[in-house]
Amino acid sequence: QGLKPIVSTESPALIFGTTSKLASDLPATDSFLGKNKVPDLQKLFQKADGLPVHLKRGVPDKLLYRTTMALTIGGTIYCLIALYMASQPRNQ
């Protein structure tokens, strides 16, 4: 007699009437794909100019780096002040 299969072997019914397009069906020249920028960025980041990688793209990177450092230092100072205030006894 053998064992009966627990899971049905038939495929389930479609939920939607039409199927969506697969990514492989789309032409490769669609406008949303754009130009491949990876080779250009590789040349930029591998250039031996003495700059760290996180500052190679110029002013936007410097601005982001300095903002991050300012927020980090400011947050650390704020935490230390809050810790100092929490360690002091309250006056009754």
Within a domain: 68: yes
Per-residue model confidence (pLDDT) at position 67: 97
User: Which of 63, 71, 41, 35 is closest to 53 using CA atoms?
Assistant: 41
Q: Between 25 and 56, name the one with better pLDDT.
A: 56
Question: In total, how many domains does the chain have?
Answer: 1
For residue 85, the enclosing domain spans 51-91
Does this model's pTM top 0.75? no
Environment class of residue 46 by beta-carbon count within 10 Å: exposed (0-12), middle (13-18) or buried (19+)? exposed
Question: What is the pLDDT, as a whole number, of residue 55?
Answer: 87
Q: Is residue 21 part of a domain?
A: no
Looking at residue 61, its amino acid is D
CATH code for position 87: 4.10.91.10
Does residue 40 fall inside a structural domain? no
d(CA 66, CA 69): 5
65 within a domain of the structure (yes/no)? yes
Give the tens place of pLDDT for each residue, 3-18. 666 766 676 676 666 6
pLDDT tens string 48-72: 888 888 888 889 999 999 999 999 9
Dist. CA 57–CA 15, nearest whole Å = 48
